[in-house]
Structure 1
Amino acid sequence: MQSENLLIEIGTEELPPKSLAALATALADNLQAELDAAGLSYSQVNWLASPRRLAVKVSQLAWQQADKTIEKRGPAVSAAFDAEGNPTKAALGWAKGNGIEISQAERLSTDKGEWLVYQALQQGQPLDQLIEGMLSIAVAKLPVPKPMRWGNNKTQFIRPVHTLTVMYGERVLPASVLGRTSANVLNGHRFHSQGQVTLNHADQYEAVLEQQYVVVDFAERKDIIRAQIDAKAKEIGAVAEIQEDLLNEVTALVEWPVAMLAEFEESFLAVPQEALIYTMKGDQKYFPLFDNQGRLINKFIFISNIESKDPIQVISGNEKVIRPRLADAQFFFNTDKKQSLESRIATLGTVVFQQKLGTLKDKSERIAELAGFIAEQLGADVQQAKRAGLLSKTDLMTNMVMEFPDVQGVMGMHYAYHDGEPENVANALNEQYMPRFAGDALPQNPISCAVALADKLDTLVGIMGIGMLPKGDKDPFALRRAAIGTLRVIAESKLPLDLQVLIAKAASLLTDKLSNQTVEQDVLEFLLGRLRALYQEQGITVDVIQAVLARKPTQPTDFAARIFAVSHFKSLAGAEALAAANKRVSNILSKNASDVSEGWQLSLLQEDAEIALGEALQAVKGRTAPAVASNDYQQVLTELATLREEVDAFFDQVMVMADDAELRKNRLGLLNDLQQQFLQVADIALLNQ
């Protein structure tokens, strides 16, 4: 069967850079789904994209669908013929609809009766008859949140469409999509290209565009930009900060990347470097440069979309653009330093945190109290924690943070140092927001941990306490992020803190504002639910998490120890048999709850197998007691795993439900004791066998 490479390109105005890769990926995925549904074979589907085009290449795509036989079932034989054996109207109508005579129909016998059936050969359609429909569906399913119209067209897309190219090898396939009809014409670079160019073969796509100053492969363009940045930085002995998100965005902004080196006045370096970096990266999409000690230098790299004959002019233009932004940051910094953070506390009362929960001043005062409570449990300086909590939101009232919101916290730290606040207090103002995103660093000292936890827990308890739980993808107060952050800070920093205790304290500070009477339980369940998601992301199996959750440990550090202990136990040779035995024990005890006692006596056991289990269990309990006391759950389960042979022998040889009531009760007590030893760690019965 004939096969060639298929090319599809939608040529547009400049596409939104943050959406480019997602749109191109979705187009390829959607088209691949249509090819699969149509039964067209191919080797692979790849996407390409630049600011002015979305493209898909399908390698070794079959020209035509394979022929297939379709079974067309007709009426039941009992309804298809009358008493004399003549075909009824129903049978004749069915045969006519299939273009056959009744005599050509076959019969299909099933357990529900006998039916007329016709095996029809459906010929596969060629690609030129299928492509327009498949492409139309693929385009219609693209994630375009705000489509637009252009000209007098009723067509809508994320940006105006200028060209449509659909080529199968050297053939242009007929297709009309988004108001454009397919042709073998491409637009090159907006400035360097000589205009539209003709494409003679789908395989020449990348090469033809490269001649027109377009690197259409997104990944290749990204690698070129990274290499150019590194090379420019090395020229001056500097180190470039190449953040992946910024690199992706810049890659989506240019078709012909050219890295250039520029600079700004050294006097601006007196401003905290975080503000300068934010300005360069966030506003201008520049790449900041650092010396070998990690200090910002007064040079930066930007990516031009043209290969200028006079690069000095391009560099000068970018330097002129960044200068006023840095001057603004310098002005804000110098102005803010004239007023202390403490003097801004009163102004927090003019900003509402949430209508039912009060102002930012109210929240800061709650954070201070809760942070002091947490610091006391951690053995940290309570007064410093309270001070940091009280000042935690004051930098939101500074000119710098109002202009550059992303530097909140870090500017609070710098202003606190300027005001002469203790080092722990200053650092806490920055680290209170950690972790800001998945994989971010955590607060580095107990004061910072106390403030970070207090901030997050106040938000969780407050917002859920007025009944505003997250719904679907709507989470305006970022409660899920606050929950994950709370759990990470406690678990990964190994803090001896209990969620139930912290939630209760947070709720006590909000008592007069809360309407949800079950808020403490709701918040705890919400946090435990986040724990499940957190460990699943780490590759922990659901049954292990469920086994631990069944015991509802409320200390994240303790929860983590149980999770890893059960994961280790599951890998042991006897784990499967012991999990099954625990399930059996659980069933027996639940059915005979009235006969179960907490105690049992070795002297009352009769069978060799039950005596052996009793003796082994007592010996193991002696060895596990110190491990339980020190929360060494892995050692506990490792010791309990040695009971496998005795447990197996017990169930093989001993009748638990003996006729003798005293013996039965003693045996149930033994099984209850066995179960309780495992339940000190987790409900092993929930492990998948």
Structure 2
Amino acid sequence: MQRKAADDLKKLVTDALVEQGLVYEGAQAHVTPRRLALQVIGLPVRQPDQNEERKGPRVGAPEAAVQGFLKSAGLNSIDEADIVADPKKGEFYVARIRREGRETAAVLAEIIPAVVRAFPWPKSMRWGEASREPGSLRWVRPLQSILCTFGPETEIPDVVPFDIDGLRASDVTRGHRFLSRGPILVRRFDDYIAALEKAHVVLDLDERKRRILADANTLAFAQGYDIIPDEGLLEEVAGLVEWPVVLIGRFDEAYLAVPPEVIRATIRANQKCFVLKEASTGKLANRFILVANIEASDGGAAIVAGNERVVRARLSDARFFWDTDQKPLPEFVGSALKPLDQRLERLKALNIVFHEKLGTQAARIGRIAKLAGLIAPLVGADAGKVERAAGLAKADLVTEMVGEFPELQGLMGRYYAAAQGEDEAVAAAVEEHYKPQGPSDTTPSGPVSVALALADKLDTLAGFWAIDEKPTGSKDPFALRRAALGVIRLVLDNNLRLPLSRLLDAAFDALPVKADKAALIADLLSFFADRLTVYLRDKGARHDLIAAVFALAGQDDLVLIVRRVEALGRFLDTEDGANLLAGYRRAANILRIEEKKDGRTYEGGADVALILDRGKEEERTLVEALRLAREEAHAAVEREDFEAAMRSLAELRPAVDAFFDAVTVNAEDSELRTNRLKLLDALRAATHTVADFGVIGG
């Protein structure tokens, strides 16, 4: 909320200034847990004067029109308007209005209260007596003071005069809540920063992050440890303190028996502390870094002790969860089932709903297992291992540890699977079937993991498409864009040749809801096309080349699509590529014009016998060249050599040029004209062997 609040304050105020004709040189916003600040540099002392011409009715217009014009222009009588002659429209009235600019301070006194009252906090509150009144101020926390000054750097600035719900703007602020005393008089921004620093407040968020990280690294290094990087936690902690004081705490080594990710999640989530690793071995250490917001008189000993006490309690809970999850469940005491299998049985018994329209988690496990079994031979995975991994993949959802730390789902399943002696590939797949979960996440490469991850994501996509819960605009509550991108990355990163249409067909067949499968598959493939377009565009591919490949029918092999796009991009940069594109456009332009004029298409192929009987030599040459080029292009596409296919088509250019130079397409003989247009359509269709050149720009 903090960074966004700083950005919002800057945008809302500066946009309002510009709208009022007040152009500035620069602006910067800052935020701490207790203050939100904005400096705007280079504002003029007043708005510029404005001259406006407003055209009115014609001379002699009805009185009502004249009176309306006077009112809108702010004139007292029509004598204050000028009369302008127009050669075509005659004479009409024009009001020339001059508006004097206001003092900037007066404009600010209107802008800032409006911004504060309408500030887009995602969460806000009312407080005090005023909260009973309708329309009272809402803010993220009770607003204590407002500091607002304006003036040239060479003079003492003025306080901008306004108040919000009785809170009057001033030139006074306060420092750290505990480490400073009394009000601080502030003239300008440089004074503000320096005064706050003396009062134990670091205004700049990035500076607080830098100090925390530097002090943490120094403290850890001095004791033989390295801090485990955590940018998200660093951002959060820097937003919790105004005067960061870095301290180090410890916990009992016995807790290191718990998986390191659990220790990190426990300490991070509950205490907002950084975990450390031993510099010599890289193993997790029984130390943690905490950041206080105060310089304590005892050097922080009490703060460290308090954090150690809470961490100890949290880790004790975590170890209890860890031990409990590996013991038999009460209802399975004496059973031969392994602990994770027992969890799977409990998951089935609890009938946990995945989605009200898509059934239970247990039913979904069955669908994923079936689909993963179909994918397994396509990715070189052992079918038995895939089936076993699919059965265990969701079992950790009912473990104590995942119940406490949902972000560890999958990972804990891997630990528990390994603990009960599962095959390494099976245990890895239990964790990795959720991956990749974002652009920076790793992509699984093990065949078992890949098969299961694909099945999980395809089932999710098919399910929500079947119940019409597709992403709309910026809303994507079920993370379906991420799931589609995950499929794309799994396929491309592992160079997998998968028939997506067939896999989606199987996924839709397994669902408990039935719909128009063919339409849903087509729509979902279009969604994949959109996601792949974004993915490739981010990697530098031209969007029009991607569209040119996707315009061809039946494109569901993602690896092949990418190869086509890459080959098309390389080829079009060559002279042959330019020749092919030029020839295509010449033919396509004529066809487009004639088809529009005639209200028909010219598909179906030219009559070769007619050409041989009545056509010109150049027509016969083009027909033969087209035949050879098509054969060579199709053969090249079959062996997936798309550049060779395009080179074959590019060799048509001399025959095409000769045709256009010697042959009149729009011949007076309608039979010849139709046949020649069909010949051009054959040329256009030949290029579609590789891509639709009609959507290529440039």
Q: TM-score w.r.t. structure 1 length?
A: 0.89
Q: Is the 8 A contact 1:261 1:315 kept in 2?
A: yes
Q: Which amino acid aligns with 2:561?
A: F
Which segment drifts farther, 289-298 or 275-284? 289-298
Deviations 1:136-185 (A, max 9, x none): 33334432233211111232112110010111142211122364211011
Partner of residue 218, structure 2: 231
1:513–1:201 Cα change, 3 Å: closer
Which segment drifts farther, 230-239 or 177-186? 230-239
* TM-superposed deviation, 1:433: 0.5
Distance 1:150 1:92 in 2: 48
Partner of residue 145, structure 2: 163
Partner of residue 9, structure 1: none
Partner of residue 632, structure 1: 641
Counterparts in 2 of 1:572-651, with a 5 A limit?
A: 572=574, 574=578, 577-578=582-583, 580-581=585-586, 583-584=588-589, 587=592, 593=601, 596-597=604-605, 607=616, 610=619, 613=622, 617=626, 620-621=629-630, 624-637=633-646, 640-641=649-650, 643-644=652-653, 646-651=655-660
* TM-superposed deviation, 1:346: 1.7
Partner of residue 102, structure 1: 79
Q: Which amino acid aligns with 1:565?
A: A
Partner of residue 526, structure 1: 527
Q: Which amino acid aligns with 1:208?
A: A
1:463–1:595 Cα change, 3 Å: closer
1:633–1:187 Cα change, 3 Å: farther
SS in 2 for 1:74: strand
* TM-superposed deviation, 1:392: 0.9
Matched, 1:327 2:329: no
1:239–1:101 Cα change, 3 Å: same
* TM-superposed deviation, 1:520: 3.1
SS in 1 for 2:92: strand
Deviations 1:570-600 (A, max 9, x none): 5445176356336326636786645631785
Partner of residue 128, structure 1: 105
- Of the three residues 124, 135, 138, the one matched with 1:147 is 124
Q: Is the 8 A contact 2:54 2:73 kept in 1?
A: no
Q: Is the 8 A contact 1:74 1:94 kept in 2?
A: no
Partner of residue 311, structure 1: 300
Report % sequence identity: 36
* TM-superposed deviation, 1:359: 1.6
Q: Is the 8 A contact 2:73 2:95 kept in 1?
A: no
Q: Is the 8 A contact 2:584 2:687 kept in 1?
A: no
Partner of residue 169, structure 2: 182
Distance 1:114 1:566 in 2: 62
* TM-superposed deviation, 1:496: 0.9
- Of the three residues 660, 672, 680, the one matched with 1:671 is 680
Q: Is the 8 A contact 2:81 2:94 kept in 1?
A: no
Counterparts in 2 of 1:318-467, with a 5 A limit?
A: 318-339=307-328, 340-349=339-348, 350=350, 351-467=352-468
- Of the three residues 92, 97, 100, the one matched with 1:115 is 92
Q: Is the 8 A contact 2:372 2:455 kept in 1?
A: yes
Distance 1:24 1:259 in 2: 25
* TM-superposed deviation, 1:459: 1.6
Partner of residue 333, structure 2: none
Q: Tell me, which stretches of 5 or more residues in structure 2 are unaligned? A: 131-135, 152-156, 329-338
* TM-superposed deviation, 1:217: 1.4
Distance 2:203 2:672 in 1: 81
Distance 2:85 2:229 in 1: 67
Matched, 1:75 2:83: no
Partner of residue 569, structure 2: 567
Q: Which amino acid aligns with 1:493?
A: N
Partner of residue 298, structure 1: 286
1:110–1:122 Cα change, 3 Å: farther
Which segment drifts farther, 574-583 or 478-487? 574-583
* TM-superposed deviation, 1:95: 11
Matched, 1:680 2:689: yes
Matched, 1:654 2:642: no
Q: Tell me, which stretches of 5 or more residues in structure 1 are unaligned? A: 1-18, 82-86
Q: Is the 8 A contact 1:627 1:636 kept in 2?
A: yes
1:565–1:604 Cα change, 3 Å: farther
- Of the three residues 551, 554, 557, the one matched with 2:556 is 554
SS in 2 for 1:132: helix
Partner of residue 278, structure 1: 265
Matched, 1:213 2:200: yes
Q: TM-score w.r.t. structure 2 length?
A: 0.88
Deviations 1:277-326 (A, max 9, x none): 11122222222223456432222222221223322332222222211111
Deviations 1:242-275 (A, max 9, x none): 3322222111111111222222222222111111
Distance 2:361 2:424 in 1: 24
Distance 2:225 2:311 in 1: 20
Distance 1:76 1:685 in 2: 52
Which segment drifts farther, 650-659 or 483-492? 650-659
* TM-superposed deviation, 1:549: 2.1
Q: Which amino acid aligns with 1:562?
A: R
SS in 1 for 2:40: strand
* TM-superposed deviation, 1:398: 0.7
* TM-superposed deviation, 1:187: 1.7
Which segment drifts farther, 588-597 or 563-572? 588-597
1:119–1:462 Cα change, 3 Å: same
SS in 2 for 1:513: coil
